[in-house]
Structure 1
């Protein structure tokens, strides 16, 4: 009854681009020249990661100011390591990194992950 007062009850299907190969980071850098790219690093074994992802998905709006990418840290740990190395952002889980012109411009982790904040930051770019 009160859940609709605090958060959206229906989640929007996010058009996630699955990040499964470190070579895709080159493509992300190119895309980020036109529109910011968001990388969401998620651990399928972590309850905090699951909670952050659920919160993010419930808040997502189809008119996002960024292109969303998703990496499963358990299945693609090497990709996660390359992200940390390439963008100079220490690995955390869960974590979001906003990329513009091939450079990290904003990042957040754990319960600090907020769709509204990320979208607001992307709109500034």
Structure 2
């Protein structure tokens, strides 16, 4: 019984780690998106914002842009005030395996300012 419990714990722990792995949820290649920030959610455990993008067919799509946790971004000196609803941005990110999700790597603001993901998961 102890062996079964031991292997069960190992099996479950790998799934918990995989949940937070960008490798499991996002591609390695970086892709561009351009659009307008619709809303922001600056909270723990994950910050995110919705980016409204006009696709190749001229249809508006909403993309969920995922980021690190608020406290992790704060420790790295991230400027939350730089991102505001209504702001048009150019985004570089790792596409998610779920539709219309992307992991933030770099943002270019309208004035040319570049905001990089301060975390290790770029």
Question: What range describes the TM-score normalised by the shorter chain of this pair?
Answer: under 0.3
Greater fraction strand: 2
Q: TM-score, normalised by structure 2?
A: 0.26
* Structure with more relative contact order (C-alpha pairs < 8 Å, separation 6 or more): 1
Q: TM-score, normalised by structure 1?
A: 0.26
Instruction: Please say which structure displays the higher CA radius of gyration.
Output: 2
